[in-house]
Amino acid sequence: MRQITALATAGTLTLTLAACSTGDPQACTTGPDGAAADTITATGDFGSAPQIDFPTPLNSNGVQTHTLVEGDGPTAQDGQYITVDITLLKGSDGSVLQQTSYDPTSPTSFLFSGLAIPALKTGLECQPTGSRVAVTMPVGDAFPDGAPQGLTDDDTLVAVVDLVSSVTARAHGTVLPAVSGVPSVVRAPDGRPGITLTGGEAPDELKVATLIDGDGDETVAEGDSVLVQYTGVLWDGGTVFDSSWENGAPVTLAADEDSVIPGFAKAIIGKKVGSQVVAVLPPDEGYGDTEQGTIPAGSTLVFVIDILAIG
C-alpha cells in the first residue's frame, strides 16, 4: 500500500537532536568567539568527515564559536529546517564521541528550534549554510540534567558542524483569498494549520485550492523529491489521522503516484516552493475501499500541505 509519508525520514543524532515545533525566522546574532574554539582546526572538504585537531585537554569558558569555513546561504535560526553533518568530540582527549554519516543520500535534518542542546544551538545560531563551525561548550551547560555516558560535568564538548542547507519550515509567499467549496484554514504563529470543514456531502472528485502562492523559484514536477509539512484529516468528523507538525518535523517524499496516494501527488505537482495547498481527496484518490490504520475504508481525506523545498 502506498503511504502518505516520506520514502525516507530524516536522520537524528542521539546526543543532540530532538523534534519540536518552530517559530518564524527572526533577527539574531552569531555565537560568541573564544580562545578555546579558536584553537580548533579541521581539514578536509566541506561535507566530508574532517580531520579535527586541538590541544588537549581543552577547556571552554562558556559557549564559544569559531567559523572555520564561512558560507553564504540562509542562516540557521528558529523557523528553519536545517541539514547538517556533525562530529562530536571529547575536549579532554580529542576522542570522537559521535559522528554523522557525511552521506548526502542519508542527511541528518531537523528543526533548528528542536536542537536539544541549547548551548550548541547558541553556537550555531545565525551561521549561514555552507559554513563549517567549531563550537565548544562545558558539558554541564550542554547537558544540565546530567552528562551522558563517556562524559563528565567537568569536561568540554567539542562540535564541528557543516551546515549543509536551511529552508523555512512553513509556507511563504502571497496569501490568497479563500476558495469556496473547500475547507477553510487558519494558521498558528508557527504556521501550523487549523482546518474547518465545510460540512455537507463529500465531493466525488479531487479538489485542490492554493492558499499561499509560494515565492520560491522552483515548481514541483512529477517524480521530484519534495520536502513538505502536512496535516491530514477525515472529511467525516475532522479527525486528524496524520500530521508532520505533530510528528515533529517535515518529511521528504516523491511527487508521483507510485510513492504516495494519487491525490496527494496531484495536489503538489505544478505548485511553487513556498506554496500551501488544501486538497480534498475522494476515496479513489486516497485509499479507496481499503482500511488504512485509523482511516476507515471509503474515506474522503483532506490535506493541508506546505511545500518547503525540492531535491
* Within a domain: 107: yes
pLDDT at 27: 57
pLDDT tier at 28, thresholds 50, 70, 90: low
Q: Would you state the cell numbers that stand for residue 155, as one nine-digit string?
A: 569536561
Phi-psi category of residue 289: left, alpha or beta, with phi > 0 → left and psi -120 to 50 → alpha:
alpha
Based on the domain organization, do 218 and 159 belong to the same domain? no
Residue 10 is predicted with a pLDDT of 30
Mean pLDDT of 34-42: 96
Q: What is residue 16's predicted lDDT score, i.e. its pLDDT? A: 37
* Domain containing residue 251: 173-310
Residue with cell 568530540: 89
> What local confidence, expressed as pLDDT, does residue 198 receive?
78
pLDDT grade for 150, boundaries at 50, 70 and 90 = confident
Q: Residue 2: is its pLDDT beyond 70?
A: no
| Listed residues 167, 188, 212: the one ending a domain | 167
pLDDT at 311: 81
Q: Specify whether 71 is located in the same domain as 162.
A: yes
* DSSP sequence for 108-134: EEEEGGGBS-HHHHHHHTTPBTT-EEE
pLDDT, position 8: 25
* Secondary structure element (H or E) that encloses residue 174, with its range: strand 173-175
Q: Is the pLDDT of residue 279 over 50?
A: yes
Q: Percentage of residues in the chain with pLDDT exceeding 70?
A: 91
Confidence of residue 106 (pLDDT cuts 50, 70, 90): confident
Domain end, chosen from 142, 167, 192, is at 167
Q: Within 13 Å and on the Cβ side, how many CA atoms surround 59?
A: 3
- Whether the per-residue pLDDT at 3 is higher than 80: the answer is no
Give domain status of residue 126, yes or no: yes
Task: Please give the single-letter amino acid code of residue 169.
Answer: A
Residue 21 has pLDDT above 80, yes or no: no
Query: In the predicted model, is pLDDT for residue 94 greater than 90?
Result: yes
In angstroms, rounded to a whole number, what is the distance separating the alpha carbons of residues 148 and 15? 8
Q: Which residue has the cell 474547518?
A: 196
pLDDT at 149: 86
Same domain, 138 and 247: no
Q: Tell me: the pLDDT tens digits for 58-69? A: 999 999 999 999
**Does residue 197 belong to any structural domain of this protein?**
yes
Q: Quick one: DSSP state of residue 202?
A: P
The span from the CA of 158 to the CA of 120, in Å, is 9
**260: Cβ contacts below 8 Å, ≥ 6 apart:** 2, 3, 4, 253, 254
Paired residues of 261 in beta bridges = none
Q: What count of Cα atoms within 13 Å lies in the side-chain half-sphere of residue 129?
A: 17
Q: What is the model's pLDDT at position 84?
A: 95
Instruction: State whether 177 and 198 are in the same domain.
Output: yes
DSSP H stretches of helix in the chain:
35-38, 118-124, 139-142, 244-247, 262-268
Residues 119 and 194 in one domain: no
Under DSSP, the state recorded for 91 is: T
pTM score of the predicted model: 0.81
Please check whether residues 233 and 287 belong to one and the same domain: yes
Give CA–CA dist 169/23, Å, rounded: 9
Q: Which residue has the higher pLDDT, 114 or 120?
A: 120
pLDDT band of residue 32 (cuts 50, 70, 90) is: confident
Query: What's the CA gap between 179 and 176, in Å, rounded?
Result: 9
Neighbours of 152 (CB within 10 A): 10
Judged against a pLDDT cut of 70, whether residue 25 lies above it is answered with no
What is the grid cell recorded at 299? 474515506
Q: How many domains does the chain have?
A: 2
232 occurs within a structural domain: yes
Of the residues 144, 167, 190, which one is the last residue of a structural domain?
Answer: 167
Residues 269 and 303 in one domain: yes
Domain membership flag for residue 25: no
Are 190 and 108 part of one and the same domain? no
For 240-270, the pLDDT digits (tens) are 999 999 998 899 999 999 999 999 999 999 9
Query: In this structure, are 211 and 304 located in the same domain?
Result: yes
**pLDDT, greater one: 248 or 206:** 206
pLDDT tens for 181-201 read: 899 999 999 999 999 997 789
**What pLDDT sits at residue 18?**
35
Residue 280 main-chain phi, psi, to 5 deg: -110, 120
Cell output for 220: 514541483
CA gap 310, 216 in Å, rounded: 10
The pLDDT of residue 282 is above 50: yes
What pLDDT is recorded for position 12? 30
CATH number of the domain bearing residue 230:
3.10.50.40
**Cis status of the peptide bond prior to 50, with omega within 30 of 0:** no
Cis peptide before 148 (omega within 30 of 0): no
Looking at the structure, tell me whether residues 222 and 149 fall in a common domain.
Answer: no
Looking at the domain assignment, is residue 47 inside a domain?
yes
Please tell me the predicted confidence (pLDDT) of residue 5.
30
Residues 301 and 178 in one domain: yes
- Please tell me which residue, 107 or 245, carries the higher pLDDT value: 245
Residues 248 and 267 in one domain: yes
CB atoms within 10 A of CB 170: 26
Residue 189 within a domain: yes
Give domain status of residue 19, yes or no: no
